[in-house]
Structure 1
């Protein structure tokens, strides 16, 4: 249809004045370009290669509905929004842009691009004034290191901070993390979580926290709260656990526990450090050791524990210092310090050690115990050795000397051998019910054989010096060898161990987000939406618009 020159000038002038007036305020949407313009009275439909502008924001799309009265536009098809003053760009299939609030509502195939960090979703509200993007119904963030997904999220661009909520998953080449609340800083690439957090490494190691965590994804540094790190060779747990993966270093505070899976040894304490490569750990503060055997468990309490166990080291040991308490079904003891050799399962006690076995008590300056096939087989003692054994009438049979070798069968003593300055005192019984008297003997060597903890045979060297004291002549002094002490009140028990440190066992059924099936979230298709509306009696009608005849070119449009 042709227009006369006056008509063309009048329409073109009106459009020019309208655009100029709305562009003067600086906060209104402007139309820069479109292939065609339809509509009037505050509503315009822009078709083909639409270009709009709002302050420093440029908008491109295939078509748009522009509502001048409310300063809002609905954008359709290949929507692209960018700002000339920052690096953020967005793409979507559909969007609504409010020029008054600078709020962009982006829908379907949304890509929020901030240079190195990209956000993908189908539902995104972007407040350009505050520079905050919020998504819901699932989103994915990708940068050079990590991929993060969640049900909901908020990207605070100025702070380079993204908050993820509900079904959060972080994936990188080394780890997969699951949680329900995570704050990610895009510049240092750190992730901080709250509540239950579970990780699995590419090697299959697990890192779990019940009360949140911090993860530096570039420097491979972790901090867990009520956390456990479980690898093929060890398990480390603490209320606050620091793990530097590149150094293989752990540091724990409060209720620390380190479990060596190969040795079946678990160490507890208030604070601890562990070097994975060296197999070296240091734990102190009401420290405790549990050494697991097939039929039994050894408990060791101390102030400080040091463990060294690595294949390249010839010496593999556990050292314990101060206030030693040792409890096993066939062995109980106390001392100031202890050394346990992993290679040959020997235990050495130093500085005033005392050991109780069944009905016997042995003291010496130092002791070495040999454990074979998980049972106590032999004990070797040096200097000031003193052995006390009770009989069926609770009499104290005694031996002393410079050195002692003790031999055990099924955890019970069956032979004692004293070497050097030997002395013995044992009660002669009649039928295990009546005391006849006391045998006291001096001999360079003494050997006693036992059965069921009772002396059955005594053997001395060539020239022993002995005497028998009838029961009616026995006095307190004659019934004790010099240095005798019965220290049963010092004997530790399991109650003593648990008073020293109460161990809370790890719950094998603790909730783990990797045990839950992954839910697939899928957006309904247009056909499914249409059917759902029809079921509810809703059938939207398409608006019927009468096209306006194009009478001139838009500003900046070539004829």
Structure 2
């Protein structure tokens, strides 16, 4: 059973160029130990068709020709021919070389250099290493039988149960089925391709760790990260350090991301960004759950929903944000809970909670909603802001609707009614209709724009014209009960309508949203 380590623990175990240096020192001390602790067991010749004693320039050796078989400390060696050096207890094998160790590890190649004292293997030419979980092919391979470590430096292909991999350099540990890869690593499966600088792979459990700049390309998009982990059997992944997941229309970004491929479910941690360019919105926050199939996202940590509205951006902020899509109708929904703030360059608001439905393209504001546009402040029990073709279209204020406007004078223009309906033109509020129990207090001017006083009027239904986000005209749709009070004679009780409460100091700014 593979012992699992944390990523930082595995990273400390990760081989780099120094690993090969360490192997060299290992070979050197193993060689010395032969003389300190005694001579290693001699290589045994099991079979050959022809045996000839020969002498080279410096050494005597035995030529073995035809169906050569040898044995050494638990390993069987096969080849077409070989040179055996008894004094150095070493062999050079040629053609159809095959080494079988423990009935599980098989090594093939064209030429073999093997030292029986140090138990070091150097095999070259069409090298193939095979164990129950993988097959490795390479131009050359070095293998230490003492530690069961093999390494290559001239590139290799590895084929696993469901994966193919190539790298320039690598280290194979047959004790625990762990492989380490370095330089231009490419991992290919049926569903994705991984390109990385460094990678660890456990063949039995099909677990993969990757380090350095990594790009994962799949059928549904690409992933970029600097560190990660993937379990092929469970189909779960961890991506760490500046992670980006993107396709043609969507982007997910975070400091780290966990993803369950079977459930199409993920978790994003820190500096979260979920962007849908096709829909024209994005969500940011500190933590997110998301489900790919339904575009479900649950975001906390100062979540912000930003929507493109005719070249401008509408931002929504609250304690918790939830967006999802109906699987049957494909319409998208948005919910923002508690302490909701709304910001657009010419439009701001607050409420306790908010709900948006793509079915009617309407934002529903609940619990003491308030909106500001220009010098106007609007409040009611409930508010609905409707979009049309991505632009603000209309505003519905139901229950105790109240509109006030700051002026340069000492008074506020005020309009109150049971319900109000506002109409936007090119994203600017231009008309407001009051329905039921209409009351007004507004400054009255003469033709020279000199303040005459205030006009206090009651009228069940009326229309308000807005220009440059200021009240321009009030039109009474039925006969009003109106009184004009001169500036110096305004009764104290007529200056304020019931429910008057300026809240301009609560008006959110951009810095309040992006705190």
| TM-score (normalised: structure 2) | 0.86
Deviation at 1:386, TM superposition (A): 1.1
The residue that corresponds to 1:29 in the other structure is 43
Which position in structure 2 is the counterpart of 1:89?
106
The aligned residue for residue 156 of structure 1 is 173
Distance 1:56 1:375, change over 3 A: closer
Instruction: Give CA-to-partner distance per residue, 1:421-473, whole Å, 9 cap, x none.
Output: 22100001235743210001122222222333444432335453221111122
Against the structure 1 CA distance between its residues 432 and 250, is the aligned structure 2 distance closer, same or farther, given a 3 Å change threshold?
farther
Contact persistence 2:109–2:124 (CA under 8 A):
yes
Distance 2:360 2:304 in 1: 21
Residue 75 of structure 1, aligned match among 84, 93, 118: 93
What is the Cα deviation at residue 71 of structure 1? Answer: 1.6
SS at match of 1:145: coil
CA contact (8 A) 1:36 1:48 kept: no
Structure 2 counterpart SS, 1:278: coil
Report the equivalent of 1:198: 215
1:297-328 Cα distance to aligned partner (Å, 9 max, x none): 11111111111224513763101001111112
* 1:236 is the counterpart of 2:249: no
Q: Look up the match of 1:326.
A: 342
Alpha-carbon deviation of 1:187? 0.9
Q: Distance in 1 between matches of 2:177 and 2:251?
A: 35
* Comparing 318-327 and 489-498, the one that deviates more: 489-498
- Per-residue deviation, residues 345-400 of structure 1 (Å, max 9, x unmatched): 21111111110112211011110112223332211101121101234658521111
After superposition, where does 1:33-432 map in structure 2 within 5 Å?
Answer: 33-34=47-48, 35-39=50-54, 42-83=60-101, 85-201=102-218, 203=219, 205-209=221-225, 211-225=226-240, 226-232=242-248, 234-310=250-326, 312-313=328-329, 316-391=332-407, 395-430=411-446
Provide the C-alpha distance between the structure 1 equivalents of 2:310 and 2:474, rounded to a whole number of angstroms.
Answer: 35
The answer on 1:436 being equivalent to 2:452 is: yes
**Secondary structure of residue in 1 paired with 2:104:** coil
Show structure 1 runs of 5+ residues with no match. 1-23, 500-559
- Tell me, yes or no, if the aligned pair for 2:77 and 2:99 is still in contact at 8 Å: yes
* Equivalent pair of 1:392/1:432 in contact (CA under 8 Å): no
Residue-pair matches, total: 473
Q: Distance in 2 between matches of 1:204 and 1:338?
A: 32
Residues 483 and 230 (structure 1), Cα distance of their counterparts in 2 relative to 1, 3 Å cut = same
Larger Rg: 1
Q: How does 1:469-548 map to 2 (within 5 A)?
A: 469-474=485-490, 478-499=494-515
1:524 is matched with which residue?
none
Over the aligned positions, Cα root-mean-square deviation in angstroms equals 2.2
CA contact (8 A) 1:388 1:399 kept: yes
Secondary structure in 1 matching 2:423: strand
Cα displacement (A) at 1:289: 0.6
Q: In structure 1, the residue corresponding to 2:262 is in which secondary structure?
A: coil
Structure-1 separation of matches of 2:310 and 2:503: 31
Q: Could you list the per-position Cα deviations for residues 171-202 of structure 1 after superposition, in whole angstroms to 9, with x for gaps in the alignment? A: 1111111001111011111111112211111x
SS where residue 472 of structure 1 aligns? helix
Contact (CA 8 Å) 1:26, 1:55: kept in 2 or not?
A: no
- Give the match's secondary structure for 1:39: strand
Task: Note closer, same or farther for the CA distance 1:459–1:294 as it changes in structure 2 (3 Å cut).
Answer: closer
- Check 1:267–1:58 CA distance in 2 against 1; reply closer, same or farther (3 A cut): same
Larger RCO: 1 or 2 (CA < 8 Å, sep 6+): 1
What's the TM-score, normalizing by structure 1? Answer: 0.80
Using a 3 Å threshold, how does the CA distance of structure 1 residues 44 and 311 change in structure 2: closer, same or farther? same
Offset of 1:227 from its aligned partner?
A: 2.0
Contact 2:462 2:478 in 1 (8 A): no
